[in-house]
Each structure stands twice: as C-alpha cells, then as structure tokens.
Structure 1
Amino acid sequence: MTASLGTHPLRTLTTALDPATLGELGVTGPASLLNGTSASDPLCWLRRGEGLLGFGEIASFTGTGPSRFADAEQWWKELLVLAAVDDSVRMPGTGAMAFGSFAFSKTSAFESLLIVPALVVGFSGGMVWLTQLNLDGTVPTPESALALLREELLREAATSPERSTPDTPSTGTVRSGALTEAQWKETVAAGVEAIVRGGLDKVVLARDVVATFPEPVQRVSILQRLASLYDECWTYAVRGLVGATPEILIKVDGSTAQARVLAGTLDREDEPAGSTGFAAAVLGGSAKQRQEHDFAVRSLTRQLAPFATDLSFPAEPFILELPNVWHLASDVTAELASSNGHLPTSLALVEALHPTAAVCGTPREDAGALILELEKMDRGPYAGPVGWLDGAGNGEWGIALRGAMLEDAHHVRLYAGAGIVQASDPAAELAETWAKFRPMLQALNLPNHP
C-alpha cells in the first residue's frame, strides 16, 4: 500500500453555481465542460447529463491484494479525521470526496486507486456545484474555487481548439490479446466441462483485444462519445481506465442502498427486421439466460442481506435496452442496518459484494479459481468496482464493464466477458463478447469486428 498526502489537514469548500456564472463560463452541462477541459484528463462519473467531473489530484491511495478495500477505507477515514468541510449544498458527492478504481482479483498486479481531486464539478437535479479540495493549508473560498475552474477552461482553450472525436473511421487496428478467438472458444468449452463435472453453476470468462493507433488516443474524446452514445450507462474514467457501464454494484444514499444486476445478453444486431417483442421473447423465454440472471441476483442479495433491515427485488427481471445489446436486469433496493450507531459505507459494501456472480460466477471461490486458470490474463480493473465515495459514507460504484485501459498514447486494451453455464455454446459466447466490445470500438471509431 502507498498513499500520498499533504502536510496539512484536508480542507474542502462546496458552493452552488448560479445560472449567470454558468452562462458566463459557457457551461451548459457535463458535455460542455468535457469539451472545454480535455487537457486535464478529468476523473469522470456521468449518466443522463448528471454526475461528477474531477480535475487535478491532491492525494491518492494505491494498494493491491486481499486487503485493498480495507486499506483504502482506512486511508480515507484517516484523511477525514481532521478534515475541515464547508458544504452548503449537502448532497451525495459534495464535501470531501474521492474517485476510485479497484482490481477485479486479489491476485492482480494492478494497483487499486482512490484519488482525491483538486476540483469537482457536480450536476444533479438541475443543480450545479463546485467543490475545491486542498492539503496545502490555505482556506478555499468561492472565489478561489471559481478561479480554479476558469484556469481549467482557459488552459485547454489555449492549447487545443478542436477536441471532438472525428466521425471518419479510425486508422487503428485490432488484434487478439491473451488468447485468439479459437483459443478463447476452447476456454469456454473447458468452462462448460467444469460445470458438467459438478460443483460449479456458472463461471464468467473474459477476453481482451488490443487496439493500436498511429496517432495519440484522445482520452476525453472517448468520454464524449460514450456519454453521448450510451446515455443510459454510467460513463467512468479513473486515470487510464475508461468505459460506460450499464451495471451498478452498489449506490448508497444515506440509509438506502441500490444495485442493478445484469445477466443475460442479446445482441441488438440479431433482431429480425420488422419484429416486435423480440428481446422479451428471446431473453425472457430462454431457460439458459434466465438461469444465468437468477444466479446473479441470488448472489448479490445473499451478500447484501447481512447489511440490511429490508431487502427487495422484483420477482421478474425487466429488459434493459442499450444501443448495442439487451440485458435481463433487476434493480435491488435495501434499507441499511446500523451497527454500533454507524451505517455501512459504500466502500464497505463494495468489499462485501465484489465479485458478484454477474462478473465471476457461482460458487464465487470456485468460479474465481477457474477464471485464474483459464483466462491466461490479468483482468486488472476490468469487472472491478469503479466509482466514487464521499465523507458521509455515500457513493456510487459501478462494475467496470464495456471499458478499456489506455496503456499508452497508442495502445488501448479492451475487455469483454460472457456468463458460461452448462447450456453455453462457445461460438455464441464469442459473438456476445464482440457485442460487448462495441461501445469502446465505437468510442474509438473502429469497426465492430476486425
């Protein structure tokens, strides 16, 4: 574990931004702010034009191994002990807050992260706020926070007048990562064989591909396109990790927790012309897809139950329609139980819930061991928790799906997976991964299939 801190206690100031100031700055929403600050490579958590954008970095935590969640939680609590928080807005995500990304596996070499930004712009329910955070001993003021935002806007306006992703196809190329397509289908067959032998109900197997570009990749352009094309998803960015996930591991707002479970997938390109009710018939009527979804829901509710006084989820999943795929989806809600006068924090729940059956399998330990044996790669942050937390214990943590790692200026590693059950067909599961690669391929202006 490593951590960077200043020599002074954390200070934060959160103030609402009035419409006149927003108009003067040319800020009409997150998209306009992304357009104006691309040189900063912002931290990002956005959906439907709402969420959080963070700029700069005043403190960070990195850790690996089985204790990465507990170590991060302890670091965050220590940072908050002497914190001076001035927050007139008082909403989830205001005051002291940090963005985070955690490795999928406790064996991963990838460093899990918490990052405290210097500046946060928040959008929620028609309100816009600005939070300045520092560790240098100075007292933030509304004027100093606004000056920081102006600096971000002016710096990029002077260096890069054109930041949008071009509509013309990219000249980038895509190649297989750890396994070729043929090898990965053999891996799926091995997963099915393990299930047939007994003791394992489901395993989620992932694969990677690597995109290479002659010109430097523009990170903010990826975020712009994902936020525009996949408005129903949560567009995220924490350092080199970017993506747009449809799945929420846990959201905590006071004493209420929510999760969205996805399992069961149908490619929208498979829909026959002129058909109606295609997704409901194929997904809802598939025993294989319903079984996969049921495993995922039961896994999450079983892990969440010890932290809740009341837990509810629908008897039947609904069809979630995204631009690339349909999913079977279930929204789970819980009233959190207090322990010694304290509610569990969002990060404590992340540790308890991760990994779910939707990204690992069931039983969890057996599925995790098989993943390490068969995938021949380190997932890094793929399918790990990504999101944010604040000083009150609130937070939103998605599962890092439909995403990629920007490994350097010219190479991007994309990840996608599929839930394997006894009825799985390797060729169909391979096709499903290409459907799940599609959001990032679109964001990179690459064709869906090389």
Structure 2
Amino acid sequence: MSSPAPARPRPVHQAADLLAAYLPGSFYYSSARGSLLADGVYAPVHAAPGRRARAAAEVLDAALVAGVTEPVVAGAIGFRPDAPSSLVVPALVRKAGPPKASGPVAPLGGSWTVSPRPAPEVYTTAVAKALDEIRDGDLRKIVLARCLDVTGGDPVAVPRLLARLVHADPAAHAFAVDVSAPGDPAPRTLIGASPELLVSRRGRVVTANPLAGSRPRVADDVENARRVDDLLASEKDRAEHAHVAAQVAEVLGRFCVDLDVPAEPEVIGTPTMWHLSTKISGRLADVTDAGSSALGLAEALHPTPAVCGVPTGLARDTIAALEPEDRGYYAGLVGWTDQDGDGEWVVTIRCAEVRDRTVRLFAGAGVVAGSDPAAELAETGAKFGTMLRALGLEGVE
C-alpha cells in the first residue's frame, strides 16, 4: 500500500508583497493582526440582514469541500438594513503578517477639485435640527455625516492610494474592497484606514474597541497633551462614548460567559485624531454556532451608536431625513471570517469610494445634548484628514 503524498508546504508571504500585488477588484485588508489579499470569486454570499453569517458558513463549507485552501468570506456591508452588501468567498487567499513602516510612497499627483456634499451651512443646519430633536423628543444621540467629492484629471491610482494609507499608519485597519454594482458606469472601490475595531474573534476570545468622542491631532506635542486632557475631562464626549461602550457590552454579553469592560475610557491616537476608546473583551459561550462567528457578532453589533445613535431605529430614521447623500457602505462594516468562525471586522470610517476620476470621502460626528453645530462641522473636517492626506490634499475641508 503506497504511503500518502506528503502535505505541500504552505507558501510564506510577506506583507509588503501582498500590498504590492493588490489590484482593483481584489480584496485587501491589513491590521496589527496581519495582512490578507484575496482574488477571484468562488461564490458570492447573498442573504438578508441577520442571515449573512449562516449563509456564509454554508458557502465556506462548500468551498472547503471543493478544494479552496483556507477559504474566507470577505467584503463589506452597508450602513442601512436595505443597503448593498459585497460579500464573497474568494477563490484564492494569501495571508501574511502585519504591515511594517516603509519608505514614503509617491503622491498621486495632478490637480483636484473639491466639492462638499452638502454645503457646510446645510450640514450645520442639520445638526441644529438634530439638537431640536434631542431636546424635544426621545432621541439621545445621532451621528450626522457629510461628504467631499474630490475629482482629478485622470483615473485615480487606487493601488497607490492604498499604499499611502498603509504607509501612513501600518497599525490601522486598512482595506480596499470592490463594491461595483450592476449598471455602474465604472468600477467602484471602497477604500480606507479605519481606527475602529467592531469585533475580532480568535477561538473563544472576542475583542471590540468602540470609539466615540474626538479631538483633532496637531503637530505640537504640548497642544496635543492639552487636547488629550480636555477630551478625558469632557462630560459631553464621555457621555457620547458611554452610549457606545454600553451598547457594545450589552450585545457581546449575549454571547459571552465572561466579559471585561473597563470602567473608564482611555485615549488612543491616529495620525490625524485623538479618540476616547474602550477595549472590551470576552470569552464566547458557544463557538459552534454561525451566529457567534466573527461575521455573526459583527451583524449583531451593527450599527453601534458610534455611527448611528440612540435609540438605534429613531436615529437611523432621523439620519435618513437629515442627510441628503446616501451613505451606501460608509458607517457599515468591512472585514473577513474564516471557516472556523475567526476573523476581524471594522467600522467603515475614514474611508472613501473611488470611481474613475472621483473620490467621495465620508466623515461623521456624534451629536448629543450640548453639541455645537460649528464644532461638529470642524470635527468632520478633521476626520477627512486621513483620506485627504493620502491624496496629498492636507488642509482641505
């Protein structure tokens, strides 16, 4: 009887090579956990909200039987329940360690025109209306967003834009996802570098890192220290953050036997912002159910008050009434889950959609009692900074 053929060694990839190999149409994701590049489509995952994790588990099982090596489900889900989703089990997946700081990446170059959507005064009027709703009704928090359309003379070099995002902050959750829909005149790519971990799962261990309450980061260390202290002392920002942390803890508590929720937030920084942060961790009671996979947990958590509001349904309806532009994938979720249920999903912020020559940037700010419309406008302007810096347009709001 012949002996079984020896197992083929798994190829070893470098994070820099995966980033260099990215082309529009691929799925790219990197964070401090590692890098992932996926190509081709074994099968799409189509299911109603709340059913996607179970549908994904079925497709992953089929992919494994069909010979797909270490299959994952990867992609993005939009903000609203009726928003589009772009989830697939790719035909080929390559993994590597986390990206490392490298030399500078050449700027995109060229000239750009910038158009706010809506106009700044329309946004501040919407914030004022939201404050009226909070004062007079049941709404306690709402996140209002706006856009910038940045248009160049030539098609946007998406791989270079992605490389600049990763280089600027290798620890961020960087992503590029094809979100083209039938009838689109040109391919669309959702791209960004999110600071906010919605949920990560490794075996029984679950981690979430909700963020809410922000200050812009500047070049002066003394001023940054003052802003961090101010953020920690701000009753308004701490109240806004508490809404988010409490809801994330409540949802994860349904799945976990142990849950660690710090009593006080801390401050974390990105190259452009400071955020109040609470790192929540727990141990799953059941790892066998698809609902407790990384994707299942992400579906249960979405949308958090960090991108929607409190109460969720009223905030979402008010957003639809006050925001003139459809969010699409902004404030949704992006990430991946493997056949064991492990994976990582982040909130789709500090992001943009690229289509041909146009980059549509998104940014939002949390509105609670005591918010100031001009300050919320300034906060969204600061949050545009991640993508504007990658485009070589720092200082534009």
Same fold (TM over 0.5): yes
Counterpart of 2:37? Answer: 53
Matched position secondary structure for 1:68? coil
Question: In the superposition, relative to structure 1, how do residues 358 and 40 fare at CA in structure 2: closer, same or farther (>3 Å)?
Answer: closer
Counterpart of 2:357? Answer: 410
Q: Is 1:113 equivalent to 2:86 in the alignment?
A: yes
Contact 1:252 1:346 survives alignment (8 Å): yes
2:96 to 118, 123, 131: 123
1:212 to 151, 158, 161: 151
Distance 2:255 2:335 in 1: 20
How far off is 1:62 after superposition? 4.6
Q: Compute the TM-score of the two structures, normalised by the length of structure 2.
A: 0.88
Q: Compute the TM-score of the two structures, normalised by the length of structure 1.
A: 0.78
How far off is 1:272 after superposition? 5.9
How far off is 1:175 after superposition? 0.2
Contact 1:86 1:95 survives alignment (8 Å): no
Counterpart of 2:17? Answer: 32
Distance 1:214 1:262 in 2: 36
Q: Give the 5 Å matches for 1:69-218.
A: 69-70=50-51, 72-84=52-64, 95-108=70-83, 111-124=84-97, 166-167=106-107, 170-177=110-117, 179-218=118-157
Counterpart of 2:280? Answer: 332
How far off is 1:80 after superposition? 3.4
Question: In the superposition, relative to structure 1, how do residues 69 and 170 fare at CA in structure 2: closer, same or farther (>3 Å)?
Answer: farther
Indicate the percent of aligned positions where both proteins have the same amino acid. 35
**Structure 1 gap segments, 5+ residues each:** 1-12, 23-28, 88-93, 127-163
Contact 1:100 1:238 survives alignment (8 Å): yes
**Structure 2 gap segments, 5+ residues each:** 1-6, 179-188
Question: In the superposition, relative to structure 1, how do residues 297 and 336 fare at CA in structure 2: closer, same or farther (>3 Å)?
Answer: same
Matched position secondary structure for 1:377? coil
RMSD: 2.6
Matched position secondary structure for 2:41? coil
Question: In the superposition, relative to structure 1, how do residues 338 and 214 fare at CA in structure 2: closer, same or farther (>3 Å)?
Answer: same
Matched position secondary structure for 1:211? strand
Contact 1:250 1:397 survives alignment (8 Å): yes
2:215 corresponds to which letter in structure 1?
A: L
Give CA deviations for 1:115-144 in whole Å, capped at 9, x if unaligned: 222322212389xxxxxxxxxxxxxxxxxx
Q: Is 1:16 equivalent to 2:10 in the alignment?
A: yes
Distance 2:249 2:225 in 1: 29
Deviates more, 1:77-86 or 1:306-315: 77-86
Q: Is 1:221 equivalent to 2:206 in the alignment?
A: no
Counterpart of 1:310? Answer: 258
Matched position secondary structure for 1:373? helix
Give CA deviations for 1:45-75 in whole Å, capped at 9, x if unaligned: 1124822111233322356xxx2341x3343
Bigger CA radius of gyration: 1
Aligned positions, number: 377
How far off is 1:250 after superposition? 0.8
1:167 corresponds to which letter in structure 2?
A: P
